[in-house]
């Protein structure tokens, strides 16, 4: 007759938590002796045979020799993981899907943070800003020639023309900056 050990001792031998051993007994993955003790050899065999997820997770984390080699991952590609390979291993597929989901959540949270911090604006709002700014600059430039032409025509020297154009250009820059500031940009 094989000698049994306590559940706590078997958990230490197996390298798992006591609750894992208790759960394995409850779900009938391992069978205790009649007196409640556990035969370590028999329990190890039952554990390996009846614990699907543990085997799958162990297989998913250790490298396997594939019949055909997959192409190496690209180094400079997208920061999002590529489409996961189709696999018959449900735990590995779940882990890949979970990694993609967590990466997406992290990137979304980062974008929301940067938007709230004022580092980013929505594309539609940026388009509205650009259109409004373009209208302000366009109006100012359209009026520039009508305002400056008579002054330049009355000038008597090249230096005077230069002074007029420089002064009017600076006035145009100030007027445009004020219009943009007044618009709230």
Stretch 68-80: mean pLDDT, rounded? 49
Where does the pLDDT of residue 168 fall: very low under 50, low under 70, confident under 90, or very high at 90 and above?
Answer: confident
Question: What was the pLDDT predicted at 60?
Answer: 47
| 171 shares a domain with 134 | yes
Q: Which of 49, 35, 30, 25 is nearest to 4 (CA)?
A: 35
Q: Within this chain, do residues 168 and 143 fall inside the same structural domain, yes or no?
A: yes
Question: Both 28 and 14 in a single domain?
Answer: yes
In a domain, 165, yes or no: yes
Does residue 62 sit within a domain?
Answer: no
* 15 domain residue, yes or no: yes
Digit-coded pLDDT (tens) for 86-122? 556 788 888 889 999 999 999 999 988 888 888 888 8
Rg (CA), the chain: 37
- Domain coverage including residue 156: 123-182
Instruction: Say what the pTM is.
Output: 0.35
Last residue of a domain, one of 67, 102, 120: 120
Does a structural domain hold residue 34? yes
75 within some domain:
no
- Domain C-terminal end among 66, 93, 120: 120
- Residue 26 resides in a domain: yes
143 confidence band (pLDDT: 50, 70, 90): confident
Closest to 148 in 3D by CA, of 164, 135, 124, 131:
164
Whether residue 37 contacts residue 9, with contact meaning beta carbons closer than 8 Å, is answered with: no
**In which band, very low, low, confident or very high, does the pLDDT at 144 lie, cut at 50, 70 and 90?**
confident
Strand, coil or helix: what is 184?
A: coil
130 and 177 together in one domain:
yes
* Bridge partners for 38 per DSSP: 5
Please determine, for residue 73, whether its predicted confidence score (pLDDT) is greater than 60: no
Confidence at residue 114, expressed as pLDDT on a 0 to 100 scale: 87
| Domain tally, the chain | 3
pLDDT of residue 178: 83
* pLDDT higher than threshold 50 for residue 34: yes
């Amino acid at each position: 007759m094989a000698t049994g050990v306590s559940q706590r001792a078997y958990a230490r031998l197996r390298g798992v938590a006591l609750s894992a051993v208790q759960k394995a007994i409850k779900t009938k993955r391992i069978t205790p002796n009649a007196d409640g003790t556990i035969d370590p050899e028999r329990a190890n065999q039952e554990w390996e045979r009846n614990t699907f997820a543990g085997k799958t997770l162990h297989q998913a984390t250790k490298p396997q020799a594939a019949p055909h080699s997959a192409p190496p991952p690209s180094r400079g590609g997208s920061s999002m993981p590529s489409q996961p390979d189709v696999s018959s291993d449900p735990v590995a597929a779940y882990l890949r899907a979970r990694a993609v989901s967590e990466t997406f959540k992290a990137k979304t949270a980062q974008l929301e943070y940067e938007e709230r911090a004022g580092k980013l604006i929505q594309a539609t709002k940026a388009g509205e800003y650009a259109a409004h700014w373009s209208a302000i600059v366009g109006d100012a430039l359209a009026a520039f020639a009508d305002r400056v032409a008579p002054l330049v025509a009355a000038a008597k020297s090249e230096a005077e023309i230069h002074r007029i154009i420089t002064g009017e250009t600076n006035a145009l820059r100030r007027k445009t900056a004020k219009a943009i500031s007044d618009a709230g940009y």
